[in-house]
Chain A
Amino acid sequence: QKEVEQNSGPLSVPEGAIASLNCTYSDRGSQSFFWYRQYSGKSPELIMFIYSNGDKEDGRFTAQLNKASQYVSLLIRDSQPSDSATYLCAVIYSGNTPLVFGKGTRLSVIA
């Protein structure tokens, strides 16, 4: 069973702080990793993807991948109340198979 695990939260951080969201996955052979943001009542929106070990930065967002530990994380710098949402981690385990999603972590940024 291919699984993606996330802490459901809520994770509460003050405005301006760094929010750190974590995700573990079960198959060491996985190659592709994604972070989606979902606002309440809306559809998931892709915010980051990462394929190689290390860090990938895009504006205030940094995705970190450690394949040896089967761990992927998302850092949000200078968190804003508008970042309050549920963040979904997703993994492609092989080939053209569907993405496997975690259940998401709810982030609340307190002004």
Chain B
Amino acid sequence: NAGVTQTPKFQVLKTGQSMTLQCAQDMNHNSMYWYRQDPGMGLRLIYYSASEGTTDKGEVPNGYNVSRLNKREFSLRLESAAPSQTSVYFCASRVSGDQPQHFGDGTRLSIL
């Protein structure tokens, strides 16, 4: 049982390049989330999808876009990467309601 799978695990970009981070879950969860984690800042919610077909902004959405492709997949796109977006990105999912979130292993992204 893979749980939440994120690709790639590591990526180095140059300023201005674009890329898409992929996330897929095999737990039949309804809700999916994208976070970034920076030293001293904790987990900050970028975007989330409460259910298939819906997406909402979180705390730090600027510079990002998301697509809930289907119930399993939720992608995060950086259209024009900036050094300030250097971070560790985590995808998470949960079934709904009062249930916990389950995290993927993360993507370590460096933007030069």
> A9 in the interface, Cβ–Cβ < 8 Å?
no
Q: Which 7 residue pairs are nearest across A and B when measured between Cβ atoms?
A: A103-B42, A32-B98, A43-B103, A101-B43, A46-B100, A34-B100, A44-B103
Given contacts A90-B101, A96-B31, 13 further A-B contacts (CB under 8 A): A32-B98, A32-B99, A43-B106, A46-B100, A88-B42, A92-B98, A96-B96, A98-B31, A98-B33, A98-B58, A99-B101, A102-B42, A104-B42
Residues of A within 8 A of B (CB): 31-32, 34, 42-46, 49, 51, 88, 90, 92, 95-96, 98-99, 101-104
- Looking at the assembled complex, report how far the CB atom of A34 sits from the nearest CB atom of chain B, in whole angstroms: 5
Q: Report yes or no: B97 in contact with A43, Cβ–Cβ below 8 A.
A: no
Residues on B with beta carbons closer than 8 Å to the beta carbon of A46: 100-102
A39 to B90, CA, bound (A): 14
Residues of B within 8 A of A (CB): 31, 33, 40-43, 45, 48, 50-51, 58, 90, 94, 96-106
Which residue of chain A has the shortest Cβ distance to B43 in the bound complex? A101
Q: List 29 A–B pairs whose Cβ atoms lie within 8 Å, in order of A's numbering.
A: A31-B98, A32-B99, A34-B100, A34-B101, A43-B90, A43-B103, A43-B105, A44-B90, A44-B103, A46-B100, A46-B101, A49-B100, A51-B98, A88-B42, A88-B43, A90-B100, A90-B101, A95-B97, A96-B31, A96-B50, A96-B51, A96-B97, A98-B33, A98-B48, A98-B101, A99-B94, A101-B43, A103-B41, A104-B42
| A interface majority secondary structure | loop
